[in-house]
Amino acid sequence: MTVAGSLPSRSAKFRPAGRRRLTWLLAAGLLLLGSGCLWFQSAPLEFGKTAQESSTGKGYQLSADQSDLILKQGYPEAFTILFYEDDDENGALQDVRQELWEYYQAGESYTFLNGELTSVDPLDVGDVGPLSAQPYLPEQFAAGMDMEDVLVAAGVDSFIEVPLEEQFLKGGKLYYGESLAFGMVDGQLRYLEALALIEE
């Protein structure tokens, strides 16, 4: 299978309200995504094997908006999840889960903030051809997951780590598995992207 590279550019609306805290992580993921997928197939930098079972059994409960969309459209053909903290109305920090679900065949993308549908945008990727079924589901991944949790939830057999400059992302690491990219900061999941796969 081939990763659908250079698909749509990210919508400007898919930027966390607290982008001062996570812009660097999203930028790291997007900048290294293409090259990381090629590295995975050619020359892994650091190779690892998954653990046998999750230490926490964590998962995510889909919201009513997300469940309704799945009933109408099915699961997304690709999706991105960001986990970050942002100030609420009272200035207190709150945990945020922001998701972008992409449906290439339908030409639409859906943005969710803590499970609430916040926007529906056109997705113009041209004719990408038939896509393979997405092996990952958004509810497999939750805030607070560590490396072992992510690998077990995804059922990933192998992965590579892409070193990041310390001044670029302190405490951050970026990993690539089969059609999956994810970023960890201080050992916790902060960024995950499940890529669409074009059938060969």
User: pLDDT tens for residues 67-84?
Assistant: 999 999 999 999 999 999
Once rounded to an integer, what is the mean pLDDT over residues 30-47?
38
User: pLDDT tens for residues 120-137?
Assistant: 999 988 777 888 889 999
Judged against a pLDDT cut of 80, whether residue 7 lies above it is answered with no
Query: What phi and psi, each to the nearest 5 degrees, are found at residue 86?
Result: -145, 160
Six-digit token string for 57: 């059994």
- Residue matched to tokens 């939830």: 153
Could you give the CA distance from residue 184 to residue 181 in angstroms, rounded to a whole number? 10
If one counts the domains in the chain, the total is 1
Six-digit token string for 129: 């051809």
Judged against a pLDDT cut of 90, whether residue 41 lies above it is answered with no
Those residues whose C-beta lies under 8 Å from the C-beta of residue 128, and which sit 6 or more positions away, are 4, 7, 104, 196, 198
Q: What is the pLDDT of residue 44?
A: 37
| Sign of the four-CA dihedral 59, 61, 65, 68 | positive
Full residue range of the structural domain in which residue 81 is found: 2-198
Six-digit token string for 131: 């896509």
Average pLDDT taken over every residue of the chain = 77
DSSP the chain: -EE-TT-PPPPTT-S-TTHHHHHHHHHHHHHHHHHHHHHHHH--SSEEE--SS-SS----PPPHHHHHHHHHH-S-SEEEEEEEEEE-TTS-EEEEEEEEEEETTTTEEEEEETTEEEEEEE--------BPPPS--GGG--TT--HHHHHHHHT-SEEEEE---TTTSTTEEEEEETTEEEEEETTEEEEEEEPPEE--
Most confident listed range (34-48, 53-67, 68-82, 83-97): 68-82
